């Protein structure tokens, strides 16, 4: 039973809590025992999404949960939510299947593949969890839904309203961004609030941008460093810019002007109810530090600075702040060489974190 | 009764708000909101603290009435059943807040 929860095909299928509650009241002791087990596993599954991998391994040992069997190939499943809010929806394309002729389905399939290939080729990473986890994505979620998110198990993409936002599968960097949230969850599980949340967002933007650069074979000076350049409708608009935070959209009729700061003196001290303390706003600061370091070293972003940031993702604590990220990334860069160290220091200095 | 509704986050990090004063809206709409707040036992509603998930929008509702004030929050993936009609209605009135 426990293994069933952690095999790839059944990973997301958890008994709903209200059913477990009923089963816990059963007169049959066997049913009660199974329900209790489900309850513990359910709580475990909910909690592992937000804890560091070391703690997660300890918890798994304590609950005698076997880790997933390692799969050494790319496996994608694309589901159609059929404009409902049901997840995952109906399976419409799985690994090896032909084009579905539904552009959202086919874009999600292709871009998940590109993202897997980037992590696998550059960092020898085996999927989101580094154990071959199946890549699940649902498209056509909700009614003209203006969002994409990672729910702890899978990626979810809305169609957009067609007025402000295009479909959320349109840009490779957006798909790469969402999948990277999964990678972060399985590495340092950065808490999604305030500065640690902004770092979580920043890793997703940075790797999302690098994934696009990798596919287009672009060097740092050829890249546009934009996130969601096609997602936000209008030629001159994008969602975020790593090169120049605060300029991705200016005087947009509905959204106004990109609020991202690029330096600490402009850091936006927001309340929790404002974007979890500004995670999508203040991520402009570490985003720009990466950009500056990448430009300083030249070549392909993933070769040097990308590798430093990947190692950083594996070393950070879940409640890390910008200063901690700066300190650790400089230490990692130092092991690679003086040029790398200087470039990373320049990046963090320019954004005034150090 | 005053209702402050904030929906924030999502991939683009947008903050949307709506402020409703039931003294300043048509009576049938005011009654509609009042019924939902009463039926949901809003002032005693305690929701589980939810860890925010990446790019998932979060909703914050604060209701003030007479000398009472109460705030709850939940993600758009876990909207309490009894509050769904209120959320659906207020979402139509939200305006994007520019930082």
Write phi, then psi, for A349 (nearest 5 degrees). Answer: -70, -40
Same domain, A270 and A129: no
> What's the ipTM?
0.92
**Beta-carbon separation of A200 and B58 below 8 A:** no
Is A58 part of any domain?
Answer: yes
pLDDT at A48 over 60: no
Tens of pLDDT, residues A137-178:
999 999 999 999 999 889 999 999 999 999 999 999 999 999
Residue range B25-50: average pLDDT? 93
pLDDT at site A21: 53
Same domain, A263 and A233: yes
Tens of pLDDT, residues A303-324:
999 999 999 999 999 999 999 9
pLDDT at site A8: 34
Residues of B in contact with A256 (CB under 8 A): 96, 98
* Catalytic (active site) residue A86: no
**Beta-carbon separation of A152 and B6 below 8 A:** no
Catalytic residue among A280, A288, A296, A340: A280
A138 touches B at CB < 8 Å:
no
Same domain, A143 and A261: no
- pLDDT bracket for residue A67 (50, 70, 90): low
Structural domain count, chain A: 3
Q: Where are the domains of chain B?
A: 2-97
Residues of A in contact with B54 (CB under 8 A): 149-150, 178, 181, 184-185, 192, 200-201, 204
Residues of B in contact with A278 (CB under 8 A): 13
pLDDT at site A10: 31
pLDDT at site A352: 98
Same domain, A225 and A95: no
Residue range A93-104: average pLDDT? 97
**Beta-carbon separation of A147 and B55 below 8 A:** yes
pLDDT at site A55: 63
pLDDT at A328 over 70: yes
pLDDT at site B49: 79
Provide the residue range defining the domain that includes A207: 194-350
Residue range A260-272: average pLDDT? 97
Query: Which 3 state secondary structure label does DSSP give A292?
Result: helix
**Beta-carbon separation of B12 and A280 below 8 A:** yes
For A182-186, the CB contacts below 8 A with 24+ separation are A182/A128, A182/A129, A182/A133, A182/A150, A182/A155, A183/A119, A183/A125, A183/A128, A183/A207, A183/A313, A184/A313, A184/B54, A185/A49, A185/A50, A185/A128, A185/A150, A185/A152, A185/B54, A186/A53, A186/A128, A186/A129, A186/A130
Disruptive mutation site among B7, B9, B55 for chain A (greatest number of A CBs within 10 Å): B55
* Catalytic (active site) residue A144: no
Residues 6+ apart with CB under 8 A from A318: A50, A51, A52, A188, A189, A190, A191, A196
Nearest CA of chain B to the CA of A181: how many Å? 7
Residues 6+ apart with CB under 8 A from A98: none
Residues of A in contact with B6 (CB under 8 A): 273-274
Is A294 part of any domain?
Answer: yes
Looking at chain A, which residue has its C-alpha nearest residue B60? A273
Nearest CA of chain A to the CA of B93: how many Å? 14
Between A172-186 and A194-216, two packed helices, what is the crossing angle to 10 degrees? 130
**Beta-carbon separation of A255 and B96 below 8 A:** yes
Same domain, A83 and A206: no
pLDDT at A294 over 60: yes
Same domain, A200 and A346: yes
Is A181 part of any domain?
Answer: no
Same domain, A288 and A238: yes
Quote the mean pLDDT of chain A. 88
Of A30 and A189, the one with more pLDDT: A189
Same domain, A333 and A204: yes
Residues of A in contact with B55 (CB under 8 A): 147-150, 178, 181
- pLDDT bracket for residue B64 (50, 70, 90): very high
pLDDT at site A51: 54
Disruptive mutation site among B47, B54, B60, B96 for chain A (greatest number of A CBs within 10 Å): B54
Nearest CA of chain B to the CA of A239: how many Å? 6
pLDDT at site A71: 79
Same domain, A214 and A333: yes
- pLDDT bracket for residue A1 (50, 70, 90): very low
Read off the tokens for A294.
Answer: 């990448």
- pLDDT bracket for residue A223 (50, 70, 90): very high
Tens of pLDDT, residues A5-43:
333 333 323 344 444 455 566 667 666 665 565 555 545
Same domain, A147 and A234: no
Same domain, A341 and A200: yes
pLDDT at A239 over 80: yes
Same domain, A255 and A292: yes
pLDDT at site B99: 66
């Amino acid at each position: 039973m426990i293994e069933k929860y952690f095999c790839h095909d059944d990973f997301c299928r958890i008994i709903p809590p209200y059913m477990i509650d009923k089963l816990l009241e059963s007169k049959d002791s066997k049913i009660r025992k199974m329900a209790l087990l489900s309850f513990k596993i359910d709580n475990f599954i909910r909690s592992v999404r937000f804890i560091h991998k070391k703690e997660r391994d300890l918890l798994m040992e304590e609950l005698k949960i076997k880790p997933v069997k390692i799969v050494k190939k790319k496996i994608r499943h694309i589901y159609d939510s059929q404009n409902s809010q049901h997840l995952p929806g109906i399976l419409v394309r799985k690994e090896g299947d032909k084009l579905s002729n539904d552009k959202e389905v086919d874009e999600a399939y292709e871009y998940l593949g590109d993202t897997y290939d980037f992590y696998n080729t550059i960092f020898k990473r085996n999927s989101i969890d580094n154990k071959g986890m199946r890549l699940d994505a649902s498209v056509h979620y909700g009614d003209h839904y203006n969002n994409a998110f990672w729910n702890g198990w899978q990626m979810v993409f809305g169609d957009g309203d067609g007025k402000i936002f295009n479909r959320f599968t349109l840009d490779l960097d957006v798909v790469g961004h969402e999948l990277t949230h999964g990678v972060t969850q399985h590495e340092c599980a950065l808490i999604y609030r305030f500065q640690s949340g902004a770092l979580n967002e920043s890793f997703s933007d940075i790797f999302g941008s690098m994934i696009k650069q990798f596919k287009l074979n672009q060097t740092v000076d050829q890249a546009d460093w934009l996130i969601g350049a096609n997602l936000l409708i209008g030629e001159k608009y994008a969602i975020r810019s790593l090169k120049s935070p605060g300029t991705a959209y200016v005087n947009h009729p509905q959204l106004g002007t990109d609020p991202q700061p690029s330096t600490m003196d402009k850091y936006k001290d927001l309340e929790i109810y404002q974007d979890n303390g500004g995670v999508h706003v203040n991520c402009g600061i570490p985003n720009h530090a990466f950009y500056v370091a990448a430009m300083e070293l030249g070549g392909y972003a993933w070769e040097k600075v990308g590798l430093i940031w990947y190692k950083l993702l594996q070393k950070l604590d879940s409640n890390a702040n910008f200063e901690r990220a700066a300190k650790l990334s400089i230490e990692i860069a130092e092991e690679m060489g003086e040029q790398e160290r200087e470039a990373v220091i320049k990046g963090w200095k320019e954004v005034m974190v150090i | 009764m005053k209702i402050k509704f904030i929906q924030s986050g999502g991939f683009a990090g947008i903050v949307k708000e709506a402020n409703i004063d039931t003294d300043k809206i048509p009576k049938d709409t005011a009654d509609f909101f009042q019924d939902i707040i009463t039926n949901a036992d809003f002032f005693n509603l305690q929701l589980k603290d939810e860890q925010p998930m990446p790019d998932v929008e979060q909703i914050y509702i604060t209701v003030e009435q007479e000398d009472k004030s109460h705030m709850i929050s939940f993600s758009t993936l876990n909207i309490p059943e009894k509050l769904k009609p209120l959320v659906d209605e207020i979402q139509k009135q939200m305006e994007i807040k520019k930082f």
